[in-house]
Amino acid sequence: MERREARALGSPLRLLVAGRVGATVVDAAWAAVRKEFDSVDRAMSRFREDSEITQLHRRAERGEASDPLSSRLRAALALADRAHRQTRGRFDARVILDLERLGSPGVRQSWSGAKRDSSRAYQLDPRRGTAELRSPIDLGGVGKGLALRWAARRAAATLGRQGFLLEAGGDIAARTRADGRPWAIALEDPLGGAMPIATCTLHGGGAIATSSVRLATWRDARGLAVHHLIDPHTGAPGGGGLLAVTVAGPDPAWAEIWSKALFLEGPAQIGAVARGRGLAAWWVCAEGSVAMTPAARQLTTWVRAEALTS
């Protein structure tokens, strides 16, 4: 097993390559992975003053037209818009206004008088490749998933039929090993326990993403504990009663989107919504109980306590 590690997008980044493969080939795949993550960071990070999205907001603040957008930023904007429709508004990139109001760290993206427009967040000019922003947006909810999607494709092009697993801060994109063995995945305990909450397998490749309140939390101006998973319907942290939601699927970007959207459904509605969508989803409630959908149960090989399918 060849292994490479670094940090990207504020998270640990790791590549595992199974089977017999030369270090030179793995190094080439790793270089392609890191280049893709760096490109996504430069395009979409709200933690960089020089990122493309920050500069897009600066131009909107001055009332100026944007420069032609990079292909990555255009793809991210289109995905965020589609995710808003598919999740019936649960996923909304315009929650950056609420994140900033609550004191979330990062470079300021809003501008004086900015508000959440009731229509689309932007208008794209396909001929010029420019965009007119109608409200500030945060692409952090799709950025890591897209980075995994694109980086996994580049790794696969370099590694050929070799199986690999690419992980960024617990979110995973994988390709089945040449011998057909699936990857075994441990789902982290959001309460910080040494044992995972469950283990599962990825057959034929695929992806897993988790949304959790374990790390991205802080205190607002009133001293109240808040987190980054904002309910766009209330402007406040959502999902009360949930600690973490994990979704498995064929694509890391959509797994990331659905893990966030399902989290905001809260413990009372998440089961029905996840089952209705046919999603493989696991979730941990505040008291530490674990629940999963039937699709997730088919992938589960072990669970710490009796799972409550709901």
pLDDT tens per residue, range 9-22: 999 999 999 988 89
Higher-pLDDT residue of 246 and 124 is 246
DSSP string, 21-72: --HHHHHHHHHHHHHHHHHHHHHH-TT-TTSHHHHHHHHHHTTPPPPPPPHH
- Least-confidence region, from 150-159, 221-230, 276-285: 221-230
Tell me if 241 sits within 8 A of 265, measured CB to CB.
no
Proportion of the chain above pLDDT 90, given as a percent: 74
Per residue in 222-237, pLDDT (tens digit) is 888 889 999 999 999 9
**Cross-strand pairs, 237:** 230
Q: What is the pTM of this model?
A: 0.94
Task: Round the average pLDDT of the chain to a whole number and report it.
Answer: 92
CA distance 18 to 2: 7
- Which pLDDT does position 117 carry in this prediction? 74
Structure tokens at 11: 């998270």
Domains of the chain: 1-46+139-171 (3.10.520.10), 50-74+91-137 (no CATH), 182-310 (3.10.520.10)
Going by C-beta distance under 8 Å and a sequence separation of 6 or more, which residues neighbour residue 188?
A: 170, 196, 197, 210, 212, 214, 244
Q: What angle do CA 221, 210, 57 make, to 5 degrees?
A: 50
Greatest distance between any 2 Cα atoms in the chain: 58
